Structure 1
């Protein structure tokens, strides 16, 4: 049995499912294929991570109708404080003086984001989810794309969207090269309870081994941590008894949230950088980690992938209005121009920041601390960094402005 769609998306994760919903909002019919049983991905044990959703990205989720489900589960970020270690010299962002009461962003557990997206996908008449299933064969020809499913059935569409992660098989089969390197760092992620309420403040403390982020969660005495350690130290850090692990966390926090205890068992993942040489091929578009992967510094990784989804929705909505084939080279070229520069700019900035704060020695630390304090006292530069943190810089797609394509 053959089913015809406007796009076929490989990968039903956070970016893949958001892409399907963004396209459906423009009347574009999508098939989503994922090898996982999506219901199993909703368990807290599947992915204990949390993600920062920038304010522009939140506008997108609101425009897609996800705000009612997600708002009670998200913790607003009202302030961001950036320091070199525990230095009193800092860079401080807040939402005071903003035209609206819009926070700088929100923190969500990944499982809550995933649950809202899966439910919305199941409810949409324009999104057909095939999971657990897999693409047994994919044929991209001049006339369109044909996918034979492992569990039987055939899908066809003018365009294939790869949202299958940083080790994308579709990207490899298309012969798209990537620039990639390891940071020889590991991110230890977990959840803590603390004595002093966080006050909706996100803290980013930089140490020579890497940044240590404390991110506000609900309720007000719970925070997520993203602790970057040297790769060679990761196993030993994770193997510490709970009391010793907590002591190391408190040492890096300097006691500003009082005593700490673990709220969830910590996990880890290696850190690296990768960027595809191009985001398109014949009747193919890459989104999210299949196109780019970056250091979690500043929490922009997921937001960058969701910006891909928003831009693709604009590009395909315009193509449909003009009567163009969604897989037309002109359509693909517009997406490449829009996303290639924006993604590379954000990724290069985070790479430089990570390397800059890793330079050892007191002179380097003194320069960094004075630099942070200087930016804090320069309103135009501070506004620029705030716009970046909000995801509100550059040529924003309709959804990131809160409008449908």
Structure 2
């Protein structure tokens, strides 16, 4: 039977009714869009329907182990959630399961270069927060109920149709199928705007005939939960030949979320075939550079000697390296080239390498999983009466933890475009009303997608000249405070 919450939320819509906005997909991007539309002064009177394949979200118990499905929210994403309602962030954090991280360290697992960032360099308290997806969804669901969003759970849009440009004034149409205690109820709804937020295999996008451009990486990401020997507030990431492994603090800081990119066969072994103890040991070895995960450089140098070698090299050739590095990095991340570096910034004062905490199993009631990796972008983000957001619009490599953050950025940009259209007296589903959203989303997301794809390819190379050059480049970036701060600012969603 439907829960009492689901019953209160269930739609009573009948065929032929009209809604201003129908959002297909109840993930974080879709739910945030629904809340933000109802919160924005210019759009608060719009009738918003959200079609969600899932039933009502259950709130995690306070003492339960952290779920493996987590996200590193940027400060920019936090502000988007704040715009969804003043109670959203408070509800997410009230049971102490969210962990802020104030520093980050990434290093080359084949060479010896590293780069470290700290929130304090930017005058911020945190670089981001690690949050379980279920906490965000549950908080947004409660806010939707408060705001009067018409949420249709256990439902799908089996058919959608957006009008052609020649059909001026025509509304979009959707056939909604709802599972009610094992029986299917269908109804048709017309909308001034349909938003596809239904994931990377978006049925709405396909129905609209919008193609995507992209490729697979031949990799899978393994996610899991482990414990550490001490509480920490650092996001750690080591680049291995098969892909990066990340350790992100969550909860009280003694738990950590693991995101490990590797080959499909190795992902199956790590996610399904090894015990919790064996998985924790593999994570520990991969982060510490032990056993099978020992760097080739360590055959001739101990770990500290390797790191000092690169730091000394930067000291000796500091100025020319900085000049080349800052221009290359600035172009790669799509931000303006920094004209000059601070003269007193050198490797001697750069953040030193730190080793991550020791890892142990989180417990027998934790789960692991894996998912395939690819990148793609829809060739069009809008059509008359239709807009794409989140994974329906674009998918990125997870090494920067930016996927969900980009989806929240889309929700913010689309609300801005709809609000502007209302202020100008435009039809919210018209091509002219939606064009600013498409332009802003491409400008915000494509540089990040290109940067993440470039990093994935750069750190997949194993030849000695490439590994040497990239480690030296990392060390040079680490020694250049202006470049280091610019990258950190960009990763925090500041662009």
Q: What is the TM-score of this pair, normalised by structure 2?
A: 0.75
Partner residue in 2 for 1:369: 471
Partner residue in 1 for 2:267: 234
Measured after TM superposition, the shift of residue 97 of structure 1 is: 4.1
Distance (Å, rounded) in 1 between the aligned partners of 2:101 and 2:24: 32
Partner residue in 2 for 1:212: 245
SS at match of 1:232: helix
Partner residue in 1 for 2:404: 302
Contact 2:58 2:138 in 1 (8 A): no
Distance (Å, rounded) in 2 between the aligned partners of 1:242 and 1:119: 34
Mark the structure with the bigger radius of gyration. 2
Contact 1:55 1:102 in 2 (8 A): no
Distance (Å, rounded) in 2 between the aligned partners of 1:339 and 1:256: 36
Task: Please list the CA deviations of residues 319-373 of structure 1 after superposition, one character each: whole Å capped at 9, or x if unmatched.
Answer: 0111100011111211111112321111111000011001013332222221111
Matches within 5 A, 1:195-344: 195-198=229-232, 200-238=233-271, 239-254=273-288, 256-263=356-363, 264-344=366-446
Contact 2:422 2:428 in 1 (8 A): yes
Q: Between Structure 1 and Structure 2, how many residues are aligned?
A: 390
Contact 1:192 1:225 in 2 (8 A): yes
Partner residue in 1 for 2:37: 23
Distance (Å, rounded) in 1 between the aligned partners of 2:93 and 2:256: 17
Task: Please list the CA deviations of residues 228-260 of structure 1 after superposition, one character each: whole Å capped at 9, or x if unmatched.
Answer: 111232222331233332221111121731241
Contact 1:164 1:290 in 2 (8 A): yes
Measured after TM superposition, the shift of residue 282 of structure 1 is: 2.4
SS at match of 1:246: helix
Partner residue in 2 for 1:80: 104
Matched, 1:37 2:29: no
Partner residue in 1 for 2:152: 130
Matched, 1:171 2:185: no
Q: 1:343 to 1:103 in 2, by over 3 A?
A: same
- In structure 2, runs of 5+ residues without a counterpart are 1-13, 178-184, 289-354
Distance (Å, rounded) in 2 between the aligned partners of 1:46 and 1:203: 18
Measured after TM superposition, the shift of residue 56 of structure 1 is: 1.0
| 1:120 paired residue among 109, 131, 143 | 143
Q: 1:259 to 1:171 in 2, by over 3 A?
A: closer
Partner residue in 2 for 1:400: none
Return the structure number with greater strand share: 1
Partner residue in 1 for 2:313: none
Partner residue in 2 for 1:190: 224
Q: 1:46 to 1:19 in 2, by over 3 A?
A: farther
Contact 2:224 2:369 in 1 (8 A): yes
Partner residue in 2 for 1:380: 482
Q: 1:36 to 1:256 in 2, by over 3 A?
A: closer
Contact 2:227 2:256 in 1 (8 A): yes
Deviates more, 1:128-137 or 1:350-359: 128-137
| 2:195 paired residue among 161, 178, 198 | 161
Q: 1:3 to 1:40 in 2, by over 3 A?
A: farther
- Aligned-CA RMSD value: 2.1
Partner residue in 2 for 1:402: none
Distance (Å, rounded) in 2 between the aligned partners of 1:46 and 1:226: 14
Contact 2:162 2:208 in 1 (8 A): no
Distance (Å, rounded) in 1 between the aligned partners of 2:202 and 2:47: 23
Task: Please list the CA deviations of residues 85-121 of structure 1 after superposition, one character each: whole Å capped at 9, or x if unmatched.
Answer: 286642111111434x441110001111111111111
| 2:176 paired residue among 120, 133, 149 | 149
- In structure 1, runs of 5+ residues without a counterpart are 394-405
Matches within 5 A, 1:384-399: 384-393=486-495
Partner residue in 2 for 1:94: 118
